[in-house]
Amino acid sequence: MTDFEFLSKINIGQYLPGTSPLHRLDPRAKIIIFTVFILVLTFTRSLQGLVLGLVIILAGLLLARIPLRFALRGLAAPLPFLIFLALLQLFLTPAANPADVLWQWRFLQITGSGVMAAVTLLVRFTALILTIGLATSITSSSDLLVGMNALLRPLTRIGLPAEDAVMMVQVALRFLPLLAVTAERTAKAQASRGADWSPVKGNLVQQVKRIAPLIVPLFISSLNKAERMALAMDARAYGSHRPRGSMRELLFTWKDAAAIFLALLLSAVVSIV
Amino acid sequence: MNPQAILQIENVSFSHPVPNGTPVPALHGISLTLREDEFTVLLGANGSGKSTLLRLMNALLLPDSGKVLVNGLDTREPQNLGKIRSLIGMVFQSPEEQIIATSVEEDIAFGPENLGLPSPEIRRRVEGVLHIVGLESERSRPPHLLSAGQMQRLALAGALAMQPRLMLFDEPTTMIDPAGRRMLMEQIHALKSRGVTVVLITHHMDEAAQADRVIVLRGGRLELDGTPRQIFTSAGLDKYGLELPPAEVFEKALRPLIPGLPPHIYTLEMMLEELRGIHPPPGVKTVAPHRSEIPIQSETIIRVEGLGFTYMKDTPMAHRALENTSLQVGQGEAHGLIGATGSGKTTLLQHLNGLLKPQEGIVRVGAFDLNDPGIGVRQLCSLAGLIFQNPEVQFFEQYVGDEIAYGAKQLKLAGNLRERVREAMDSVGLDFETYKDRFTWTLSGGEKRRVALASILSLDPEILLLDEPTAGLDPLTRRAIIRHLQDLHGRGKTLVLSSHRMGDIARVTDHTTVMQNGTSILAGTTGKVFSRGETLLAAGLEPPLSAQAAVILRTNGWPLPEGITCQEELISALRACLGGKP
């Protein structure tokens, strides 16, 4: 394993081509289904509901034949932060009643509701991250953009720049891996000239110190890249014709309708139990 | 208006605006008319205003004074912009920054979508263009996982899909291998035969030789305009930062020895064709091999055996970059690495200074065993210095002096830092007092390349690893860098350099390894390697002209020794054959 593979750590926007029923859904259906799921997982309070949601997402991953390890990759980066939050929940949730206290040492105490809150938090975020992982691995970014474009088009009638908004998302998605590649090159260049890039374990301050020298060159090169990309977009006539054409024509079938119906049904179950 | 003119530039001047400063003048009073199906090459030194002129042509920049008319439409009228952009396609130097969409086919569709074409027509164009550039099998891949050569094809495809009547190319051949360049030149000729006007910026004189018309800029002024023949016979090419096409340099050197050779041969193909008809006069002498084919016994300093490497291992995007690769470099040797783009040269080089750890096989550099997990780039960087492709994009200090001192500061090397920096700058021809306080971003392309070189030399590494050290430089700057490399080699440094310029490899190296699809397929003295023309062609490369010429002359019965790679060797061997002094 090398220390410099930044690209492999970016999970968002990494589409895994496939032919599963989930892959073949209409992009609009995918967007609606995943939006609903994300909302439900965010607002459901009961742990049972969240566990059920997690199971549904795992089933989805299985159905789409996405390796679990790949989907879980996105969890690696926020994990320390999540554990920190979970620990806060664990120790700082006040006891609902005296019987709730499970363990106490001076001012630190763990309560039953604290344990519940911590577990709920972890399950919720795992489910959310897996949902996003599943969504991005079965939805190519062009699918996402075509779908968004179709769903947002009515907004242009009331004067909102929906097309430009979708284009912004597209450029951002394209930029992310580009940024990772640039960071990787800069880090390699610095390491080749003696900067210390040996793996630092744990210590957050050291980690930040290590990243800091990357930021200025990354900023400068990103601005340059953005400028050149804008030129390239101009050169290819962006904005010269409204509305833009589209290579893809979407086809909404009964399968998509059924999938949305099923998703709504499952969401309802998740939020009720 | 001339109905044949697709583009008219009338007395155009342009200055680059500087926030809160005086604008930097770039072009002065340029007038120019491009006719339909004309193939024009724009030449000039780095910073002579070529890219600026190109951007004025498709209204990415607007003239300060004067007029640019595309098919009769003034670029300064905003309502003409859409029409102008649909008439003109543009391919920029760096392909990765001109790819906008997140899959290959979507990116090709980007332009036609912007023109508001109906969906079936967009799909038809995407299909057609995918076929032309040969990216059918990559259609749904995300662009950042393409190889450099494929990205260049995609950039071309994106412009072709708009079916432009004028194509502008801004140094598209800088970063690609000989096969990629051939592909691009074929595309340009195909465009021309379909009636498309082409403008190409390049530093390759052999590409200029194939044009209908050559325009030379210097300091923002149009200095020369004519056919390649007129331009290359005019005096003082040096002052424009130009040189003769390699074929013509060769012809001039050879003609005193071979009177049968006709004058003014510009292209490689013509040269080789002529040579096939040149037979030796009676009584030529056989000469001894020009240089010893027995390798000089020196201690091996780099040893790579059975190296295998996969990027993003254990992910669905895993990409095999190296497979059973070997490399042996002796102390004090100058070793060339050649191969098509994506053949693994960069990956191999990054193993040699410890940036990448061997996944399979062994890597030994000096006394270091890279298979030892405790050994990495930090230990190696003062022994083996790596200079990246386009190193100037990674500058991270403001001042030249700081940039060069960075490594020595990081490693806390002993001795006077100032002296160290001065010495490093001296060895690449940068004056310490003049340059140490300059801002890195104000330097010219050639100066930046020198600073990048000096920033590694300040660590005084025994081994220099160079990834495409001359890419993107104009001929004069390139020759200067080559001289510095020869000089460093002469002072006992071990060099390992990769390059797509076979002429540079012939000039600098004594040994060469050929890479193909991640595997080393051929290694030996540079002379031996370059005599294997067919193997090189199959690997997407071509031997330098002198090596090819030597092979042809030998088959014609000239008693030339083997292992000739550069012009000087060929000339002295021919002299010896003809009975003169070698």
Q: What is the 3-state secondary structure (H, E, C) of B414-428?
A: CCCHHHHHHHHHHCC
In chain B, residues with a C-beta closer than 8 Å to the C-beta of A238 are 110, 114
**Of B432, B425, B434, B436, which Cα lies nearest the Cα of B402?**
B436
Topology of the domain comprising B302-544: Rossmann fold (3.40.50)
DSSP letter (8 states) at residue B439: B
B373 CB within 8 Å of a chain A CB: no
DSSP letter (8 states) at residue B512: E
Task: Provide the domain count of chain A.
Answer: 1
Tell me, rounded to whole angstroms, the distance of Cα B218 from its chain centroid: 21
Q: Which residues, 6 or more positions from B77, have their beta carbon under 8 angstroms from its beta carbon?
A: none
**Burial (Cβ within 10 Å: 0-12, 13-18, ≥19) of residue B249:** middle
B105 CB within 8 Å of a chain A CB: yes
pLDDT in tens, A17-48: 788 999 999 999 999 999 999 999 999 989 99
Q: Helix, strand, or coil here: B174?
A: coil
The answer to whether residue A211 sits within a structural domain is no
With beta carbons less than 8 A apart as the criterion, state whether B494 and B333 touch. Answer: yes
**Cβ within 8 Å, pair B382-A1:** no
Residue B484 pLDDT: 92
Identical fold at B5-240 and B302-544? yes
Tell me, rounded to whole angstroms, the distance of Cα B360 from its chain centroid: 31
In chain A, residues with a C-beta closer than 8 Å to the C-beta of B385 are 192-193
Amino acid at B441: W
Nearest to B60 among A140, A216, A235 (CB): A235
Nearest to A15 among B112, B142, B394 (CB): B142
More confident of the two residues A163 and B464: B464
Residue A123 pLDDT: 93
In chain B, residues with a C-beta closer than 8 Å to the C-beta of A242 are 116
Mean pLDDT per 10-residue segment, chain B (582 residues): 77 89 90 92 88 93 94 92 92 88 90 93 96 89 80 92 94 79 89 94 90 94 92 83 84 84 81 86 70 62 94 77 94 93 90 92 92 86 88 79 90 87 90 89 82 91 92 86 93 93 90 94 91 87 87 87 83 82 45
With beta carbons less than 8 A apart as the criterion, state whether B389 and B468 touch. Answer: yes
**Cβ within 8 Å, pair A140-B102:** yes
**Cβ within 8 Å, pair B122-A245:** yes
Alpha-carbon distance of B175 to B153, in angstroms, equals: 12
pLDDT in tens, B120-155: 999 999 999 999 988 998 888 888 878 777 888 899
- Tell me which H or E stretch contains B188: helix B178-193
Location of structure tokens 């083997």: B562
Alpha-carbon distance of A271 to A41, in angstroms, equals: 8
Q: Which residues, 6 or more positions from B27, have their beta carbon under 8 angstroms from its beta carbon?
A: B12, B13, B14, B49, B52, B53, B56, B220, B221
Phi/psi at A23 (5° precision): -60, -35
The answer to whether residue A204 sits within a structural domain is no
Residue B582 pLDDT: 44
Nearest CA in chain A to B116: A245
The answer to whether residue A235 sits within a structural domain is no
Residue A1 pLDDT: 37
Tokens matching residue B436? 């140490």
Residue B211 pLDDT: 94
Tell me, rounded to whole angstroms, the distance of Cα A92 from its chain centroid: 28
**Cβ within 8 Å, pair A193-B406:** yes
**Cβ within 8 Å, pair A189-B115:** no
Tokens matching residue B535? 């193997």
Residue B197 pLDDT: 95
Residues paired with residue B322 on neighbouring β-strands, in sequence order: B309
Rounded to 10 deg, the angle between the A27-43 and A47-63 helix axes is: 150
Q: Helix, strand, or coil here: B71?
A: coil
Residues paired with residue B74 on neighbouring β-strands, in sequence order: B69
**Of B111, B86, B93, which Cα lies nearest the Cα of B101?**
B111
Q: How many CB atoms lie within 10 A of CB A201?
A: 6
**Cβ within 8 Å, pair A191-B381:** yes
Q: A227 CA to chain B: closest CA distance, Å?
A: 9
Q: Please spell the DSSP secondary structure of B225-276, one letter per residue.
A: EE-HHHHHHSS-GGGGT----HHHHHHHHHTTT-TTSPS---SHHHHHHHHH
For chain B positions 349-368, those within 8 Å of chain A (CB to CB) are 350, 353, 355-357
The hierarchical CATH code for the domain B5-240 is 3.40.50.300
Nearest CA in chain A to B80: A240
In chain B, residues with a C-beta closer than 8 Å to the C-beta of A173 are 102
Nearest to B119 among A14, A225, A246 (CB): A246
B228-234, long-range: CB < 8 A, 24+ apart: B228/B41, B228/B266, B229/B264, B229/B266, B231/B43, B232/B205, B232/B264, B232/B266, B233/B264
Phi/psi at A35 (5° precision): -65, -45
Amino acid at A264: L
The answer to whether residue A9 sits within a structural domain is no
Has this prediction a pTM greater than 0.90? no
Q: How many CB atoms lie within 10 A of CB B237?
A: 19
Q: A239 CA to chain B: closest CA distance, Å?
A: 7
**Of A4, A23, A259, A251, which Cα lies nearest the Cα of A137?**
A23
**Cβ within 8 Å, pair A174-B99:** yes
What are the residue ranges spanned by the domains of chain B? 5-240, 247-291+546-577, 302-544
**Cβ within 8 Å, pair A194-B407:** yes
Work out how many CB contacts closer than 8 A connect A with B.
Answer: 201
In chain B, residues with a C-beta closer than 8 Å to the C-beta of A150 are none
pLDDT in tens, A83-111: 999 988 888 877 777 777 777 777 777 88
Q: Helix, strand, or coil here: B168?
A: strand
Tokens matching residue B213? 């018309």
Q: Please spell the DSSP secondary structure of B123-141, one letter per residue.
A: HHHHHHHHHHHT-GGGTTS
With beta carbons less than 8 A apart as the criterion, state whether A148 and A166 touch. Answer: yes
B216 CB within 8 Å of a chain A CB: no
Alpha-carbon distance of B234 to B238, in angstroms, equals: 11
In chain A, residues with a C-beta closer than 8 Å to the C-beta of B85 are 234-237, 240
With beta carbons less than 8 A apart as the criterion, state whether A246 and B113 touch. Answer: yes
Q: How many CB atoms lie within 10 A of CB A159?
A: 7
More confident of the two residues A180 and B226: B226
Tokens matching residue B69? 């008319």
Location of structure tokens 């997407």: B540
Phi-psi group of B306: left, alpha or beta (phi > 0 → left; psi -120 to 50 → alpha; rest → beta): left
Nearest 10 degrees: Cα torsion B192, B195, B197, B200: -10
The answer to whether residue A155 sits within a structural domain is no
Residue B348 pLDDT: 95
For chain B positions 67-96, those within 8 Å of chain A (CB to CB) are 81-83, 85-86, 88-90, 92, 94, 96
**Cβ within 8 Å, pair A216-B396:** yes
The answer to whether residue A183 sits within a structural domain is no
Q: B250 CA to chain A: closest CA distance, Å?
A: 39
Phi/psi at B334 (5° precision): -110, 115
Residue range(s) defining the domain that contains residue A128: 25-139+250-273
**Burial (Cβ within 10 Å: 0-12, 13-18, ≥19) of residue B83:** middle
**Cβ within 8 Å, pair A245-B158:** no
